[in-house]
Amino acid sequence: MEEFKKTLEQNKALNQLDWFTFESIVEKVIVGGYDEDGNKDPAQLLFVYKMDLKNHLDGKKFNH
């Protein structure tokens, strides 16, 4: 767990993550939010982890 937390804090990419592991560490994912200028951004992703860590991502940067 500590290694996973360190990876996220350094904004390193994860190549694989199985569903069981995802469910055991992620409390919730919030889709949508606001950018720095206060504009709605439906592609923003906020991962809230069970270990008191949050990670903001721009969903537009991922392949659909």
- More confident site: 24 or 59: 24
Average pLDDT over residues 30-44: 92
Query: Residue 6: what pLDDT?
Result: 73
pTM over 0.75: no
How far apart, in whole angstroms, are the C-alpha atoms of residue 22 and residue 25?
A: 6
Asked if pLDDT for residue 50 goes beyond 70, the answer is yes
Average pLDDT over residues 17-30: 84
Q: Which residue has the tokens 């659909």?
A: 64
